A = this chain, B = another copy of it.
Amino acid sequence: MQVQYILEILGTGFFAASGALVANNRSTPDWFGATFISFITATGGGSLRDMLLGSYPLAWVKDVNFIYAVLMGLILTGLFYNRIKHWRKIFFVLDSLGIAMFTIIGTQKAMSMHVSLPVAAILGMFTAVMGGILRDVLSNEEPVIFKKEIYATACLLGALLYQGLDYLNCQRNYSYLIAFAFIFIVRWIAEKYHLSLPRFAKDHNKNQEL
């Protein structure tokens, strides 16, 4: 419980920082715009999961610490922006930490509400990726998820691994750690070796008018 809470607060801060980095990289937001995008990136996935589950109150509505976590991630990013922007790896690491934490927390939360395992894995993946999708949709950009899809697939596989460990009665904190490391490493390997999934269906005669 305690570990889950700490992970969720940390993940929120990491996502807020990654949201602010992306927003500032794409355009030149003022402090309000950056805060807004940060907030949506950090809280969007978890809020959507809880709204789909009907699990109220939402974490950030009930507990103002989530707001502080967003502000912390945002302010640190703003202060150190011109140091960290050269290090694209920082973004990759922050974002990967965020998605790994949120996938596992989201899967566990859905399982605790007694939904079926496939649905819990989908909701875990949604927790991790929907914040970024909302960020992209609000910025009128094509969501990143449709360009580097291995990213969300790593979340889905990590959710299934967590469920497998849970089924084997693995102690919960170990399951967290193993699934977390798995998602992080799969994403890192996929990025490094440019791994991708097979195409859905090849199409030589594109019909543009559908």
What is the interface of chain A, defined by CB distance below 8 A to chain B?
A: 20-34, 36-37, 39, 47, 51-54, 56-58, 60-62, 64, 67, 77-78, 81-82, 85-86, 88, 91, 115-116, 118-119, 122-123, 133, 137-143, 145-146, 149-150, 152-153, 156, 196-203, 205-210
Contact = CB atoms under 8 A, between A and B. Distances in A.
A33 B85 contact: no
A82 B202 CA distance: 8
Contacts of A25: 203, 206-208, 210
Contacts of A203: 24-25, 28, 81-82, 85
A38 to B, nearest CB: 9
Q: How many copies does the complex hold?
A: 3
Contacts of A198: 30-31
> Among the interface residues A20, A33, A62, A145, which one has the most CB atoms of the partner chain B within 10 A?
A33
Contacts of A199: 28-31
17 contacts: A25-B208, A25-B210, A26-B210, A27-B146, A28-B200, A30-B196, A31-B197, A33-B149, A36-B145, A36-B152, A37-B146, A39-B122, A51-B51, A67-B122, A78-B200, A91-B210, A140-B142
A81 B201 CA distance: 7
A52 B22 CA distance: 25
B36 A200 contact: no
B27 A67 contact: no
A71 to B, nearest CB: 10
A64 to B, nearest CB: 5
Nearest to A68: B118
B24 A64 contact: no
A67 B116 CA distance: 11
> Among the interface residues A21, A22, A51, which one has the most CB atoms of the partner chain B within 10 A?
A51
A57 B120 CA distance: 13
